[in-house]
Every structure is written in structure tokens, then in C-alpha cells.
Amino acid sequence: MATYTELDTSLTTEETALKEEVHRFSADVLRPASIELDKMTAEQVIAEGSPLWDVFRKSYGLGYHSRGLSPELGGVSLSPKASHIFAEEMGWGSSDFAIALGVTSFPYSFAAMGGNSDILSEVVKPFAEDREGRYVGCWAITEPDHGSDAVFVGNQELKGPETTFDVQAVADGDEWVISGQKSAWVSNGTIATHALAFLSVDESQGMAGGGVALIPLDLPGVTKGAPLEKLGQRALNQGEIFLDQVRIPKQYMLVEPSTYPFLIDTVLSGANAGMGATFTGLARAAFEEALNYARERVQGGKAICEHQAIQLSLMDMFIKVETARAISRNAMDYNSKTMPPKLQYSVASKVYCTEAAYEVAHAGLQVFGGIGLTKETLIEKLFRDARASLIEDGTNEVLSLAGARKVIDTY
């Protein structure tokens, strides 16, 4: 059972039950496996027999992977509020698994929106029916030379051919031929079976000439790099994808330049809102760890939570967690119901909540003192996991500039 007070008194019975179910899953499955995987090498994390695959199977067994699909396609329909609750509870248990299990649906839910019968039968429905984790998706947008700049599609400085994606798609009859490299930061990159690839279709337009393709990663010409060794979020597999004259059917190009600029705002609104909710969960986990330790640790003849310095720190952490939940839930709710979405609110959610998570984890580690620096404590892992969030899915600085442009133009 979640320990925080739910300030929204309008939660339905179903939403309350979902919160309790996902919290149990996070506590019993995600967090223990994430802690175990944190001690392994990146190769060991994805090896056959790794706890990673047990988590995927259990998540798929509960149907969590199909949240982005309609019930008609075998998916699970959640209200915006329920989606936020789900993401926060998953992030509370393990931000690395929350991201991995969230991004796995990207290629399939995105492909489903087009309604192409061949794609639905060949890819989408098998994914929805999967209960073993055989179908794993990744979001292949970042490249060695292109990361956060991908969010600046409307910026005049990124409209020349010198700024385009390195991965290029060329039409050839009834097929597209794709070549280029996606960087080591592709989430699920070396374990994925399908990629949702953001690439260049018309390089003369720069970033605005982008497209989005569904790429099965067992096709000739696809190779993958080694899994990435990194500071935190070690249960989240990441790695390079190389594409050398890879041929896909024409219908697998899901988005072309005519609609790409509009599409990127919609995708970023959803992704940033999800990050805000996920790292609200991590912030809460760090606060709870610090609070529980402060109640138990005795210094000066009393529990340290009775010292005013610690009380001030705990209250500051509490305020940041509650504020993060408020902004992230409202942004997700509003942009789930609004078209086109207001990107600046999702950006505000991502930036505020990830920075709050890092600050709360930092303050929580300080409450622990020296022992907080050791691998024995969860707070040490949360601190490392939170640090990555200030960079992934667009650095907070670049996202803030993209959000500022929207604020200036529309407020």
C-alpha cells in the first residue's frame, strides 16, 4: 500500500485498486530485481537467465506492456490520472525498469495509430498477445551527433541539410532503404526486436524533414553494439543500433515530413509527461528512505528526525515530492485531452520533477551521512539513477529553451 496521502479525493475505486496493485508489483518485483541488476555488468544484465527477463515476463503477464494500445487491439485503456498513478508507482519501485517497460510499447502503439491491417496483424497484435517478453520495442531517436537538438524541429537554425539526422531513409519502389547509426543511449537498444526510428526523409529541410519508421531489428543490415556501461539506471539496457541498407516495406514508414513537425511535439509531450510522473516516484522513494532512516538513527540521545536541521531537510523534500506530483499529474491529464498538446507544460513537468528527484535524493543521502555513500543503501542507487534523468529524453537546459519558445509565442 502506498504510504503517501492522496490529495485527490475524486479517485475512483478502479484507480485506487490500480495504485495498490502496481505498488505491490514495484515493491515485490521491480525494486529487488533492480537492486540485484545494479551490481552486474551491462552484459550480465541482459544475459539469458538474468533477473531482467523475469521482470519482463511478469510485467507482460500482467498486461502492463500493452497500456498504449486500445482494448480492441488487446491493450489496456487507462485514464490520464490512472496513467500517472501507474508511472509514479513504477518509478517509485525502479526508474530504470519504469523506463524500459514504458518504452517497449513505443513502436507498437505508434504503429497501431495508422491502422494499417498488415502492420496490425504482423506486429501490433502479436505484441499485445505476448505474455513472455518476446516482443521488445525501443525508441531510436538519439544519434552520436544528434541528441537534444531533435526537439528543436521548428528552430530556424536547424532547417538546413547540415543539421539533419544521420540515419537516412530513401524511397525505392515499394520499399524504404535505411542507413545510419543510432547512439549508445537508445533505451532497450540491444535487446529490442523492433525500433521506432526517427530519421531523415528529406535532408534539405533539416530536422523538419524527418520521418518515423517501424524497423524490425532482425532484418538484414541491422547490427547492434555492446550494452552500455553507465553510472545509474543499470537495469535499463541501452546501446547502439547500426543500419546498413536496411529495407522495410513502404507502409512501415509511419510518418513523413509533411506531418513530422506536428508529430514531434505530440511525442515529446507524452514522453516528457511520462518522465515527470516516473521521477515523481523516484523523489518519493528517496524521501521515504530518508524519513525512515531519520526515525531510526539515533544521535545526541534521540532519533535524528527530532533534530531541527533534519526536520527542515525532510520538510523541503516533502514539499518537492508533493509539488512534483501536482505539476506532473496536471500536465499529463491536460495534454492527454488536448490536441495539439501544450509542450511547455510537459517540459515543465519533466524539468521540475527530474530536478526535484535529484535534489531529494541528494538531500536524502545527506541525511544518511557516511553510510549513504555505500552500496548497502538504496539511497545511493536512487541518487545515481536520478542524476541520469537530468540528461535523458533531452537535457533539461535544451528542453527548457524549447519550452521557453512555446511560452513566448503562445502565453
Q: What pLDDT is recorded for position 162?
A: 72
Q: What pLDDT is recorded for position 264?
A: 84
Q: Any idea what the Cα angle at residue 236 is, between residues 77 and 102, rounded to 5°?
A: 10
Q: What is the mean pLDDT of residues 196-215?
A: 93
Q: What is the mean pLDDT of residues 70-86?
A: 93
Q: What pLDDT is recorded for position 1?
A: 46
Domain boundaries, the chain: 13-129, 137-258, 261-410
Q: What is the mean pLDDT of residues 140-146?
A: 93
Q: What pLDDT is recorded for position 309?
A: 98
Is the pLDDT reported for residue 206 higher than 90?
no
How much of the chain, in percent, has pLDDT values that exceed 90? 88
Q: What is the mean pLDDT of residues 207-225?
A: 95
Is the pLDDT reported for residue 354 higher than 90?
yes
Is the pLDDT reported for residue 154 higher than 70?
no
According to CATH, the topology of domain 261-410 is Butyryl-CoA Dehydrogenase, subunit A; domain 3 (1.20.140)
Is the pLDDT reported for residue 24 higher than 50?
yes
Is the pLDDT reported for residue 364 higher than 90?
yes
Q: What pLDDT is recorded for position 294?
A: 98
Q: What pLDDT is recorded for position 392?
A: 95
Architecture per CATH, domain 13-129, reads as: Orthogonal Bundle (1.10)
Lowest-pLDDT range of 43-47, 57-61, 206-210, 334-338: 206-210
Q: What pLDDT is recorded for position 208?
A: 83
Which band of pLDDT confidence, cut at 50, 70 and 90, is reported for residue 159? Answer: low
According to CATH, the topology of domain 137-258 is Butyryl-CoA Dehydrogenase, subunit A; domain 2 (2.40.110)
* Between 29 and 208, the higher pLDDT residue: 29
How much of the chain, in percent, has pLDDT values that exceed 70? 97
Q: What pLDDT is recorded for position 157?
A: 53
262-309 pLDDT, tens digit per residue, is 888 889 999 999 999 999 999 999 999 999 999 999 999 999 999 999
Mean residue pLDDT across the chain: 94
338-352 pLDDT, tens digit per residue, is 998 999 999 999 999
Is the pLDDT reported for residue 26 higher than 80?
yes
Q: What pLDDT is recorded for position 158?
A: 53
Q: What pLDDT is recorded for position 152?
A: 66
